[in-house]
Amino acid sequence: LKEINRRFGTTIVFVSHHMDFVKEVAHRAVLLSGGSVIEEGDARQVCDKFIESTGVTYIGKGIDGMISK
């Protein structure tokens, strides 16, 4: 994603429950809860604030078993 962004200078919108991945890849982040914006801004700041308040770096279920082979 970083390479595509750099090479083409385009905005990429992606959804992730992995806070460390978001901090690594994104410049900006929007934290949603129940469809409402809870926090938005610099990706590191948004993710760090979320992690500090919850202690969670990953939200949701793993995809193991959810993908049919």
Q: Quick one: pLDDT at residue 59?
A: 64
Question: What is the Cα gyration radius of the chain?
Answer: 14
Q: What is the mean pLDDT of the chain?
A: 82
Do β-strands 36-42 and 28-33 pair in parallel, antiparallel, or remain unpaired?
A: antiparallel
What pTM does this model have? 0.68
On the question of pLDDT at 19 being above 50, the answer is yes
Q: Provide the residue ranges of all domains of the chain, joining segments of one domain with +.
A: 14-54
Q: How far apart are CA 19 and CA 38, in angstroms?
A: 15
Letter for the amino acid at 26?
Answer: A
